[in-house]
Amino acid sequence: MIIKEEPKWYILHTYSGYEDLVKSSLEKLIENNNLGDQIFDLQIPTMKVSKERIKVIKEDGKPDREEKTIVIKDEKKIPCYVFIKMIYSNQLWYLITNTRGVTGFVGPQGRAVPMKKEEVIKMQLEEADDAMELAVGDSVFIRTDSADDYSAVIKELNDKTKTAVVTASIFDRKTDIKVSYSDIRKAD
């Protein structure tokens, strides 16, 4: 009986500005070596950023005037990193770490350590599996950076924005908090 291993997300560190080059090189590596059944996805998470540009126009005999334009562009959420979903093997480690621009995997001594499911959801590499199982009135825990999670009850759900409004008791006061699906987990 052959047990198929589940692919996991790993983080590659790259030289500054080499993220797109690394991604395209790895896509060629996958195609040339028929690795589509071992490497499933490559992502460089980006976000839309708007910047206002002001241009001063000087005309003879007239007062200076300003012309404002807003430019929206994609910026990398985390520069110098590429995220890769694959079934790990030593052969893949060798091929990937010898790709131009890659400095290594994120992990001890450059060894690949898979990301946790919560990290994958928080980075928006994949959607939360349990998002559809949530319902108004369910008891949940709000994930925090500390060891203590707050218990709460779901008041509203918004599947479009992947957010929920929950009512939590903080300092003996009922408080409504808006949180993303990735920041809550169902109570057992």
Q: What is the pLDDT of residue 88?
A: 93
Q: What angle do CA 149, 153, 158 make, to 5 degrees?
A: 105
Q: Say yes or no to pLDDT of 171 above 90.
A: no
pLDDT at 1 over 50: no
Residue from 78, 94, 89 nearest 7 by CA: 89
Q: Which residue has the higher pLDDT, 28 or 133?
A: 28
Higher pLDDT, 157 or 186: 157
Distance CA 11, CA 123 (A): 11
- Fold entry, domain 129-186: SH3 type barrels. (2.30.30)
DSSP assignments along 58-83, one per residue: --TTS--EEEEEEEEEEEESSTTEEE
Note the pLDDT of residue 11.
95
**How sure is the predictor about 180, in pLDDT bands with cuts at 50, 70 and 90?**
confident
How many beta carbons lie within 10 A of that of residue 20, not counting itself?
13
Chosen CATH of 8-46+75-122 out of 3.30.70.940, 1.20.1250.20, 3.40.50.720, 1.10.3720.10? 3.30.70.940
Q: What is the pLDDT of residues 16-74, one digit of tens each?
A: 999 999 999 999 999 999 999 999 999 998 888 878 888 887 777 677 777 888 888 88
- List every span in the chain annotated with CATH 2.30.30.30: 129-186
**Interval 101-127: pLDDT, tens:** 999 999 998 789 999 888 887 788 886
Query: Which part of the chain has CATH 3.30.70.940?
Result: 8-46+75-122
Q: What is the pLDDT of residue 143?
A: 74
Residue 2 pLDDT exceeds 60: no
Spatial contact of 68 and 51, defined as CB atoms under 8 Å apart: no
- Short-list 103, 76, 83, CA closest to 9: 83
φ, ψ for residue 45, nearest 5 deg = -60, 130
Burial class (CB in 10 A: 0-12, 13-18, 19+), 150: middle
Classify the C-alpha dihedral 171-172-177-180 as positive or negative.
positive
Q: What's the token pair of residue 118?
A: 């919560």
The span from the CA of 145 to the CA of 58, in Å, is 53
- Tell me, what's the pLDDT at 147? 53
